[in-house]
Amino acid sequence: MANPLISVRNLKMYFPVGASFLPGRRKVLKAVDDVSFDLQAGETFGLVGESGCGKTTVGRTLVRLYKPTGGQILLGGTDIAPMDERTVLPYRKRMQMIFQDPYASLNPRMTVSSIIAEPLRLQGAKSEEINARVSELIEQVGLKKDHLNRYPHEFSGGQRQRIGIARALATRPEFIVCDEPISALDVSIQAQVINMLEELQEKLGMTYLFVSHDLSMVRHISHRVGVMYLGHLVELATVEELYSNMQHPYTQALMSAVPVADPDLAAQSQRIVLQGDVPAPIDPPSGCPFRTRCRYASKRCAEERPELRDIGGGHLLACHIH
């Protein structure tokens, strides 16, 4: 395979929580713990898992909205993980993010024009350059030039997400994190936004990290898929391999919970019910993170965390029973 656009190595993002004024009481929440994967240029990598598993944190850390606690983020071979705000700026324009909630992610007091222009201004672009680019972008996402002087509340959810996409495209990024980009939209609008993301990928050669809990959508849009549980990546494979030969007990449970309009998934699903909730990441289980809900858990699972390893053809799995 060609050199990846981005290589994530042992990425850790820990958040301090609890009362900081009491010495010894301060704990860390390991939102992302030791995650490694590659993103090939032009691919869509789907990231799935229940709410709270760390998907958004992976996305935000990759585009350096957060500074990771540890590990490497190699962008075209350069490690951007340890860089400070200023040093990382030229790299940040190569990576953008589309947010889940188009209502919350657009400043209501800014015009569409200034929203789309913001990343360019932050990069220090000249105003003629900005104006030309903004006109180009508004058309690229299927809106009109006379929309530019309006405010976000004048638009529908789907249109607002288009504005968010135009803003993300402004700096001509190579890589975009799409964090549940359609889950807040009406079903009738979802397909339009997905089609647009796919067209942009084809036209511009874009690389996507597509975060979603909608497994059918991830299957539709992704080339490869990673499954996250409690801050860890537990399985990773091409979409064909994962959806026909899922091996991790968590992946199996997750897939069997999909309302089965998807005939292949329906054939495989034995309706495995996931017991209980995801444990609190502040106090994760020893050994395998999934062991408290796994029906195959053994003594070894409590003692030793399974490494993510290749079980053949690039299918990666972190489970002792394979």
Ligand X SMILES: Nc1ncnc2c1ncn2[C@@H]1O[C@H](COP(=O)(O)OP(=O)(O)O)[C@@H](O)[C@H]1O
Site for ligand SF4, rule CB under 6 A: 249, 288, 290-291, 294, 296-297, 301, 306, 319-321
Shortest Å distance, C-beta 164 to ligand X: 17
320 CB-side CA count, 13 A: 18
Q: Which residues contact 157 (CB under 8 A, 6 or more apart)?
A: 102, 103, 184, 185, 186, 189
Residue from the set 12, 55, 167, 305 that interacts with ligand X by CB under 6 A: 55
Q: Are 310 and 262 in contact (CB under 8 A)?
A: no
The sign one gets for the Cα dihedral 204, 209, 213, 214 is positive
Residue 228 CA to residue 54 CA, distance in Å, equals 7
Give 52 or 142: the residue with its C-beta nearer to ligand X. 52
User: If DSSP codes are grouped into helix, strand and coil, which group holds residue 219?
Assistant: helix
Stretch that binds ligand X, among 51-59, 118-126, 198-206, 283-291 (CB under 6 A): 51-59
Sheet with 95-98: list strands edge to edge: 95-98, 175-179, 207-211, 44-48, 224-229, 232-238, 316-317, 309-310
- Does position 56 interact with Mg ion (CB under 5 A)? The reply is yes
Give 56 or 161: the residue with its C-beta nearer to Mg ion. 56
- Does position 52 interact with ligand X (CB under 6 A)? The reply is yes
- Does position 54 interact with ligand X (CB under 6 A)? The reply is yes
51 class by beta-carbon count within 10 Å (0-12 exposed, 13-18 middle, 19+ buried) = exposed
Give 61 or 251: the residue with its C-beta nearer to ligand SF4. 251
Backbone torsions φ then ψ of 306, nearest 5 degrees = -70, 135
- Does position 105 interact with Mg ion (CB under 5 A)? The reply is no
Stretch that binds Mg ion, among 51-59, 155-163, 187-195, 267-275 (CB under 5 A): 51-59
- Does position 287 interact with ligand X (CB under 6 A)? The reply is no
- Does position 31 interact with ligand X (CB under 6 A)? The reply is yes
User: How many of the chain's residues bind ligand X (CB under 6 A)?
Assistant: 13
- Does position 183 interact with ligand X (CB under 6 A)? The reply is no
Shortest Å distance, C-beta 235 to ligand SF4: 10
Shortest Å distance, C-beta 304 to ligand SF4: 8
Give 76 or 279: the residue with its C-beta nearer to Mg ion. 279
Token representation of residue 222: 């992704």
Q: Which residues contact 121 (CB under 8 A, 6 or more apart)?
A: 130
Give 164 or 249: the residue with its C-beta nearer to ligand SF4. 249
2 CB-side CA count, 13 A: 9
List contacts with Mg ion (CB under 5 A): 56
List contacts with ligand X (CB under 6 A): 15, 17, 29, 31, 49, 51-57, 281
